[in-house]
Amino acid sequence: MFDRYLIDADSLRNTGPADAPTGFAFDAKLGYYRGLGLSMVEKLDIAIDGEPLPREAVRFDEGLGPLTLDEMETAYDRRWPFGTAATILVDRPGGFPAGEHELSLLQQLRVSYLPFPAVNTDKKSVSLAA
């Protein structure tokens, strides 16, 4: 429904030491018109130029501290409100590659009244200076 708003391309940044990044981060919004409990976020798949990044490398922070995707499965007391940006952190030696690349995000959500998962995707052309 709100797919084109998932990735905030202007928020892309490397994490860790400036001379040796250990990963990257970007802000994302929920692609569902209501907030959801974090345990209802079934997947957050990230890819660079079509190459999927490992699930184990992804963490999520809605403002209360980062969680792995496995930890999100039992985060029953935490929510991702509609319209609120959360930070997606990815462990990746060297950080985000310099130059222009395609960043994609897939969210698979378990919505209580739908008999199937809601899937939202966004792709943005993004770049970081070297």
Handedness of CA 64, 22, 50, 68 (dihedral sign): negative
Question: Do the Cβ atoms of 41 and 6 come closer than 8 Å?
Answer: no
CA distance 66 to 71: 9
Residues 89-98: tens digit of each pLDDT: 999 999 999 9
DSSP one-letter code for 82: T
Residues 41-73: tens digit of each pLDDT: 999 999 999 999 999 999 999 999 999 999 999
Structural domains for the chain: 3-128 (2.60.40)
Strand partners, 25: 13, 89
pLDDT averaged over the chain? Answer: 94
CA distance 46 to 10: 17
